[in-house]
Amino acid sequence: MISVDDFAKRAHEFLAEHAEPRGEEKFAWGQGSDRMGILDEKSPEEEQRELDVGKAWRAKLFDAGYAWITGPEEYGGQGLTAAHERAYREVESEFRTPSQAPFGIGLGMVAPTILAHGIDEVKDAYLRRMWRGELVGCQLFSEPVAGSDLAGIQTKAERDGEEWIITGQKVWTSGAQYSDIGEIITRTSTEKPKHKGLTMFVMDMNASGVEVRPLRQMTGGASFNEVFINELRVPDSHRLGDVDEGWTVALTTLMNERASIGTGAVGGSSTGASRLIETARRMGVTDDAIVRDRLADLYMHSSVARYNNLRAMSKIRAGQLPGPEMSIAKLSLTMNMRRTSAVIADILGPRLVADTGEWGTYAWAEFILGVPGMRVAGGTDEVMRNIIGERVLGLPKEPQVK
């Protein structure tokens, strides 16, 4: 096995040849875009350009051996250690590389679930192509009626020989509009307890019987979709896990989802904190004791959340399954977003809701309008509190509605 130092050296040579150095990035008031949206909302044309560039870069990364560093060699990975992965990430941070956002759900949630629960045929069919950027995956969990009660879904799958016929509706599906495959949870038994009658599948998003419709958000963008499935036939080989045991499979996906959401930064940018403080300076409120206290409180909570995230990600890199600390990470993120919303509203006052064209003011409105969505994504704040209370603090389970 190549040493970590030699691996990092080769990675640096590769990136120096194919990417531009990042250089030192500093926030400067009035320079660049003043967007502070949480979700990366683009037009269909911009979205397609990002996807095309991202696919080309991921293929180049894969062929050079840097796309799936810790993955099993039989499925296209390099079979190296978490230390090699960390070394590459450190080197890559020095360079400007194309956005890999379109692959976040597929590689962060769907691919790990296929690896953990799929049969060899499915792993062979999808994992290499996903990590090379040839296929994009999405997650089909939420439904209009079930809400945060994932086990209350109604999309049904009925067996027909060696195939399953799936019919139902999913909602809040990110990336469905450009995805090739989807990981879908279905109900296969109505007689068993609701957590015991679920089954997971990998489905073709481009098949007849699948319709994707965009959902317009109050931010103005359409980052999510509703998906209608009408008598879609899926081979039994594309089942993930055992029949009626989809809840266990879903937990694998959900923990990886919370890991990816929980490690997000304020405003989706590492410059978010600097910008917040600079906004206070520009508005002349840095001497206000209440504003200073709230900024310090936000900084403190953000620092604690970052340390928790580092602990959680170290556990994942060590090959362990993500646990309830991912729920802590996700809840911490949304709580800090709420703190950010409150303090920026105090700082900006009417500038937050009246667009005067002044740089760095009204743009924060998009951030605030995006926070409610983040409180739902990956499990609501209330669900996260229940998980933390029961699994971390050992509190009694919440009484169930009868």
pLDDT tens digits along 74-109 = 999 999 998 899 899 999 999 999 999 999 999 999
Same domain flag for 144 and 224: yes
Domain contains 210: yes
Q: What is the pLDDT of residues 126-137, one digit of tens each?
A: 999 999 999 999
Same domain flag for 325 and 218: no
Same domain flag for 312 and 364: yes
Q: How far apart are CA 13 and CA 220, in angstroms?
A: 42
Among candidate residues 137, 112, 109, the one with its CA nearest the CA of residue 123: 112
Q: Look at residue 254 in the predicted model and tell me its pLDDT.
A: 78
CB 251 within 8 A of CB 141: no
Domain contains 256: no
Query: Pairing relation of β-strands 137-140 and 181-187?
Result: parallel
Same domain flag for 234 and 345: no
Q: Look at the chain and count its residues.
A: 402
Query: Distances in Å between the alpha carbon of 195 and those of 114, 192, 320, 399?
Result: 20, 8, 24, 17
Count Cβ neighbours within 10 Å for each residue of 263-280 and write b for 16 or more, e otherwise.
bbebbbeebbbebbbbbb
Q: Look at residue 99 in the predicted model and tell me its pLDDT.
A: 93
Query: Distances in Å between the alpha carbon of 142 and those of 139, 209, 380, 382?
Result: 9, 19, 12, 16
The model's confidence at residue 163, banded by pLDDT at 50, 70 and 90, is: very high
Q: How far apart are CA 390 and CA 229, in angstroms?
A: 35
Q: What is the pLDDT of residues 23-78, one digit of tens each?
A: 777 778 888 888 888 877 788 899 999 999 999 999 999 999 999 999 999 999 99
Q: How far apart are CA 139 and CA 385, in angstroms?
A: 23
The model's confidence at residue 320, banded by pLDDT at 50, 70 and 90, is: low
Q: What is the pLDDT of residues 120-162, one digit of tens each?
A: 999 999 999 999 999 999 999 999 987 667 778 999 999 999 9
Same domain flag for 330 and 383: yes
Q: What is the CATH number of the domain that holds 325?
A: 1.20.140.10
pLDDT over 50 (residue 269): no
Domain count along the chain: 2
Query: Distances in Å between the alpha carbon of 349 and those of 192, 283, 343, 362, 368?
Result: 54, 10, 10, 10, 13
**Helix, strand, coil percent values for the chain (each to nearest 5):** 50, 15, 35
Domain contains 223: yes
pLDDT over 70 (residue 258): no
Query: Pairing relation of β-strands 137-140 and 156-160?
Result: unpaired
Task: Pick 77 or 391 by higher pLDDT.
Answer: 77
Q: What residues make up the domain containing 334? A: 263-392
The two three-digit tokens of residue 211, written as one number: 């319709």
Domain contains 273: yes
Same domain flag for 197 and 297: no
Domain contains 203: yes
Domain contains 114: no
Q: What is the pLDDT of residues 201-235, one digit of tens each?
A: 999 999 999 999 999 888 888 878 999 999 999 99
Helix (H) or strand (E) holding 212, with range, is strand 210-215
Q: Look at residue 398 in the predicted model and tell me its pLDDT.
A: 79
Domain contains 15: no
Last residue of a domain, one of 186, 217, 244: 244
Q: What is the CATH number of the domain that holds 182?
A: 2.40.110.10
User: What mean pLDDT is reported for the chain?
Assistant: 89
Among candidate residues 185, 55, 210, 198, the one with its CA nearest the CA of residue 109: 185
Domain contains 297: yes
Same domain flag for 367 and 306: yes
